[in-house]
Structure 1
Amino acid sequence: MNSRRNFLQKSLLGVAAVTIVDMPSMAGVLVEKAEIKNEPFKLGIAGYSFVNFNLDQSLEMMKKVDVHYLCIKDFHLPYNSSAEQIAAFHAKLKQYDVTGYGVGPIYTKTKEEIDKAFDYAKRVGVDLIIGIPNHEDLPYVAEKAKEYNIRFAIHNHGPEDKLYPNASVIYDLIKDLDPRVGICFDMGHNKRDGHDSVADLQKYAKRIFDMHLKNVTAATKDGKTCELGRGVIDIPAYVKMLRKIKYTGSCSLEYEKDMKDPLAGIAESVGYFKGVCDGTR
């Protein structure tokens, strides 16, 4: 685990970002100093982080932490949304300078539900689905990914997940399928399942389309999500690996601690990540 001294050194910008919560008038000044520059990857937020908040509240939080990419969850844009509702949703995001780059995670149990997931992504206008299909449906997922030319990234959920506990399991199942089927790499759950998330990022780089940026308190089933700089994953090493593999997708913070009052933790995590990016060049 990063030492407290190391954490403080590398998350100075995170401390500034946390201050945003209590000093909104300073937000523009503080966040401007924390912008990621000259990186091939983007910083986003996974929509599930905002499960207890409506869209406006979620976008206000994104504005405060200066993050501009969102993976869309159905509680903000339902699967049965009309074309008019989808247009209004995107217009709302544009007001906050936010881009919805993908949808999900979407759980599917049948081929019909897979069909609906691809239709939903097409109507929303994104080229990425984060999904959790059954193993036996993976060939069908590959067919639909090719048909729609929409990438499908399978999410790993740690030791409790009987289908996809880690990235290795996903890769072994998809390696011979259409290359549009890949991985949404949840680095925290991967670590909780006893795997080295920095090494796995490199090992499966070509099939990682998206990732859930998070840290955890322990590399065991009992590990809990925590602020990004306070866990057992070496974030500076992870950022260096992102550059090494030339990752160009989104690193979407999925913050699952204090989910009814997450802004301070999100701000600290975003600030820490931006600070590490700036400090490891």
Structure 2
Amino acid sequence: MSQKMDRRSFLAVTAATTTGLLATRTAPAADDFAGFVVGVQTYTFRNFDLEQMLKRTKELGLKSGEFYAKHIPIESQPEKLKAILALCKEYDVTPKGFGVVGFSKDHDANKKLFEFGKSIGVQYLSADPSMDSFDSLDKLCEEYKIAIAIHPHGPVGGGKRHRWWSAEQILKAVKDHHKLIGTCLDTGHLIRMATLGEKLDPAEQVKVMGDRNFALHLKDHDNKKDTDVPFGDSAGVLDVSAVLKALKAVKFTGHVAIEYEANADNPSPDMKKCVAFIKESAAKIS
């Protein structure tokens, strides 16, 4: 974090507490996206520091994010978190989620992550939980009212698939657990499963999860070149309109985070294309 950022951020919070900041932040506008709250997965800007990421997100016209650990370090002390949240407020970018984070049967370790989530005011934690974590997560979801959104990660190398790779497999694991345990489906990783012979339709996967969709990583992927591509690109396969219609069908009220893993040094031009394409798609279904 730069000296400039620290100085401005700390001045902004001298008379405020973290709770006060969270109470006064405005919710992201959804008018441009047919009622959906559309933001960014900040991993998109992983080669940039917090302020640079916020600046680029604001330039895209987005007002929310699922933050990852480089931009809000989990180990941050309270005063540091105050500074971070103040800077987010300055750029009008609200943390809606955080992740992806792991969970195990270690209840105390899990609780620390929920405490962290509470301290930054997120609605969900994008998660990669172990199978033995759910008894702990049941209790913590009930206590904190923060959703656990399981993130599928598609192929993981060597012809193997991630332990969470489809909506059907996730739903089977969570259906008898707390209603705040569900998914943050990733359309790009669902598309990547075709390389292992599993052709998953992202829109249908949304429908499978129903009211257990708490967030979505929206991205398109070119499996031939193994790279993300902007929405609408001829090399892509994602039907953005179909995904939005599926979200409408299941009465989705969560966070749609655009994620773009290509061109890490300068993702903004392609991200602008993605934002424009979602607006066009949303307008057609509204």
Aligned residues of 1:40 and 1:246 also touching (Cα < 8 A): no
Say if 2:95 is the partner of 1:95.
no
Aligned to 1:7: none
Q: 2:53 aligns with which of 49, 53, 58?
A: 58
Post-superposition shift, 1:127? 2.8
Aligned to 1:30: none
User: In structure 1, how many angstroms separate the alpha carbons of the residues matched to 2:162 and 2:243?
Assistant: 26
Post-superposition shift, 1:110? 5.3
Aligned residues of 1:131 and 1:155 also touching (Cα < 8 A): yes
Aligned to 1:172: 172
User: In structure 2, how many angstroms separate the alpha carbons of the residues matched to 1:167 and 1:223?
Assistant: 22
Aligned to 2:252: 247
Q: Deviations over 1:107-146 (max 9, x none)?
A: 2355143222112112222231111111121222222211
Runs of 4 or more above 4 Å deviation = none
Q: 1:115 aligns with which of 111, 116, 123?
A: 111
Aligned to 2:72: 77
Say if 2:140 is the partner of 1:137.
no
User: In structure 2, how many angstroms separate the alpha carbons of the residues matched to 1:216 and 1:78?
Assistant: 28
Matched AA of 1:162: H
Q: Deviations over 1:156-203 (max 9, x none)?
A: 001224311122211111011010111011112112222111111112
Say if 2:100 is the partner of 1:105.
yes
User: In structure 1, how many angstroms separate the alpha carbons of the residues matched to 2:191 and 2:245?
Assistant: 18
Matched AA of 2:169: V
Matched AA of 1:89: I
Relative contact order, CA 8 A, sep 6+: which one is greater? 1
Aligned residues of 1:185 and 1:211 also touching (Cα < 8 A): yes
Alignment TM-score, normalising by the size of structure 1: 0.81
User: In structure 2, how many angstroms separate the alpha carbons of the residues matched to 1:118 and 1:195?
Assistant: 31
Aligned to 2:22: none
Post-superposition shift, 1:239? 1.9
Aligned residues of 1:36 and 1:274 also touching (Cα < 8 A): no
Aligned residues of 1:42 and 1:249 also touching (Cα < 8 A): yes
Aligned to 1:153: 149
- The alignment covers a number of residue pairs equal to 245
Q: Deviations over 1:22-75 (max 9, x none)?
A: xxxxxxxxxxxxx84472321110121111110111111111110000112121
User: In structure 2, how many angstroms separate the alpha carbons of the residues matched to 1:66 and 1:207?
Assistant: 28
Aligned to 1:214: 219
SS of 1:204's partner is helix
Alignment TM-score, normalising by the size of structure 2: 0.80
Give the unaligned 5+ runs of structure 2. 1-29, 194-198
Aligned residues of 1:40 and 1:243 also touching (Cα < 8 A): no
User: In structure 1, how many angstroms separate the alpha carbons of the residues matched to 2:115 and 2:58?
Assistant: 30
Matched AA of 1:269: C
User: In structure 2, how many angstroms separate the alpha carbons of the residues matched to 1:279 and 1:147?
Assistant: 40
Give the unaligned 5+ runs of structure 1. 1-34
Post-superposition shift, 1:223? 4.5
Aligned to 2:262: 257
SS of 1:247's partner is coil
Q: 2:210 aligns with which of 202, 205, 208?
A: 205
RMSD value over aligned CA atoms? Answer: 1.9
SS of 2:271's partner is helix
Counterparts of 1:2-81 in structure 2, within 5 Å, are 36-37=31-32, 39-81=34-76
User: In structure 2, how many angstroms separate the alpha carbons of the residues matched to 1:240 and 1:149?
Assistant: 27
